Structure 1
Amino acid sequence: MSYMNKFEEQIIICKECLKGISQKINNNGVPSNNINYQNLYDELYKLSELLPTHLAIYQKRLHDFILPNLKVRDMVSYNQWGQQIIFPCTGINPYTLGEVIATLIYIDENKHEYDNIWVNIHPCIIQSSQKLFNDAHYAESVEAAFLEINVRIKEIIKLKTGEDIDGVPAMQKAFSVNNPIFKLHTDIISKTGKDIQQGYMELFVGAFRCIRNPKAHEKISITKIEAIQKLHFASLLMYEIDKAKINTL
């Protein structure tokens, strides 16, 4: 499941949780401070960890205000000897519940106003590059994406052949038309199969000659748009690795 699908699914889970609480309050007359807070707390926390960058202010609000105040405060009393007695409470704070409802409505209505570049990006590229990109380290985010590809290819080559190579030589060996490690077509004997295998080998080799290697050896600055284009390219290559059949050497 993609990152955005998880985010949207978690919104639905939180809405269902609130719906159940509302039914208890409105239909059964149960006050919120008599409804256990834990399930709602857990689901809101999961949601807060999935919020995209354009909703970062609501992540902060959930962490700093809503979640710490979701539970009714424990009751404190003193016995005749002045000793403090704490009566734990597990109910939902009615004032904070109103904040939860308003916040969830806003998040749900604005969930699609995210940075669209990540919607179809490979999860491994998101994991390696998203934070760097969001922090405006555009060249570094691209370098991290192609490093992720390099590591994945390198590990498979070493596993299959025992060779410890990376970069351009690794791409040439992995996607070679003659006895490749990664087969990108079911029939690499046919002209179509050979063309596809050759074409993708050239794409992988070209990526490491033109994109990764210069960045790895020099301090290069690129724009946000250039980074987006290169991240999509890295994602395409990573998806091709997913689809490839590992050849038995």
Structure 2
Amino acid sequence: MNKFEEQIIICKECLKGISQKINNNGVPSNNINYQNLYNELYKLSELLPTHLAIYQKRLHDFILPNLKVRDMVSYNQWGQQIIFPCTGINPYTLGEVIATLIYIDENKHEYDNIWVNIHPCIIQSSQKLFNDAHYAESVEAAFLEINVRIKEIIKLKTGEDIDGVPAMQKAFSVNNPIFKLHTDIISKTGKDIQQGYMELFVGAFRCIRNPKAHEKISITKIEAIQKLHFASLLMYEIDKAKINTL
């Protein structure tokens, strides 16, 4: 057993301890100190082999920076900012940690080129269906994953319970988006990027997800691969987007 495989086991044991605190003792993840898990995941990221390099980037760019619950900010009667440090684990990022570690563990020795650049959430939802030759279902599951993610944020921000095309239109609207895909959506470039991605998301649900959800459609393996990469692109754009304060 090499150091990489040993570190996977250490990370799994760390997660097991956290799960026991949550499930057996009723301790919320945001009351569990993040530091040990952070340290072990960082060590793992430095040991990842080349074929899992995309997960090193995901750990460094998304998971580790968001593992800790954000510090609480308040203001006193004189308008001075007061910061209350938090050391708990972000429950949303914890789910990403579990999914990512499962995939790394299952693919530590070899990998399928189809999945090397696919978003971890799409892998989690679609890989088994694809490997079992349920190609259309694997694509449907990928876009359902996108739909659920967008729907949850819209409901959290606005209270509205919408999905599919209306959800994509609202989430990426040029005028008042929930997901900002450019730092300056007032400029022509920013508006064009926002509009373009809104049309991509809307088009994906009109042309790919909705027909499959309502009709029995068969697609080839190659078509499924192409659509899964498209779903992955959209999911990565959601990762990069800034959630707008409405």
TM class by smaller structure = 0.5 to 0.7
Which secondary structure state, in structure 1, belongs to the residue aligned with residue 139 of structure 2? helix
| Distance in 1 of aligned mates of 2:157 and 2:78 | 75
Say if 1:111 and 1:194 are closer, same or farther in 2 by CA, change over 3 A.
same
| Distance in 1 of aligned mates of 2:168 and 2:54 | 42
Q: CA RMSD in A?
A: 17.7
CA shift for structure 1 position 209? 0.1
| Distance in 1 of aligned mates of 2:64 and 2:28 | 19
| Distance in 2 of aligned mates of 1:73 and 1:201 | 29
CA shift for structure 1 position 114? 3.1
CA shift for structure 1 position 117? 1.1
CA shift for structure 1 position 140? 0.3
| Distance in 2 of aligned mates of 1:136 and 1:144 | 14
Q: What is the TM-score when the length of structure 1 is the normalising length?
A: 0.58
Say if 1:99 and 1:132 are closer, same or farther in 2 by CA, change over 3 A.
closer
Which secondary structure state, in structure 1, belongs to the residue aligned with residue 16 of structure 2? helix
CA shift for structure 1 position 13? 9.8
Say if 1:225 and 1:10 are closer, same or farther in 2 by CA, change over 3 A.
farther
Structure 1 runs of 4+ aligned residues shifted over 4 Å read: 4-113
What 5-or-longer segments of structure 1 have no aligned partner? none
User: Number of residues paired by the alignment?
Assistant: 246
Task: Decide whether the 8 Å contact of 2:165 with 2:206 is kept in 1.
Answer: yes
CA shift for structure 1 position 188? 0.1
CA shift for structure 1 position 170? 0.2
CA shift for structure 1 position 159? 0.5
Relative to structure 2, which stretch is displaced further, 17-26 or 148-157? 17-26
Among candidates 144, 147, 164, match of residue 147 of structure 1: 144
Q: What is the TM-score when the length of structure 2 is the normalising length?
A: 0.59
| Distance in 2 of aligned mates of 1:173 and 1:29 | 37
Residues 97-136 of structure 1 show CA distances to partners (whole Å, capped at 9, x for unaligned) of: 9999999999999977632011111010000000000100
Say if 1:6 and 1:162 are closer, same or farther in 2 by CA, change over 3 A.
farther
Alignment of 1:154-233 (within 5 A): 154-233=151-230
Q: Which has the larger radius of gyration?
A: 1
| Distance in 2 of aligned mates of 1:195 and 1:79 | 41
Say if 1:80 and 1:128 are closer, same or farther in 2 by CA, change over 3 A.
closer
Which secondary structure state, in structure 2, belongs to the residue aligned with residue 29 of structure 1? coil
Say if 1:98 and 1:219 are closer, same or farther in 2 by CA, change over 3 A.
closer
Say if 1:46 and 1:138 are closer, same or farther in 2 by CA, change over 3 A.
farther
Say if 1:12 and 1:202 are closer, same or farther in 2 by CA, change over 3 A.
same
Say if 1:122 and 1:5 are closer, same or farther in 2 by CA, change over 3 A.
farther
CA shift for structure 1 position 57? 26
CA shift for structure 1 position 64? 38
Task: Decide whether the 8 Å contact of 2:54 with 2:117 is kept in 1.
Answer: no
- In structure 1, the partner of 2:124 is 127
| Distance in 2 of aligned mates of 1:99 and 1:120 | 16
Which secondary structure state, in structure 2, belongs to the residue aligned with residue 68 of structure 1? helix
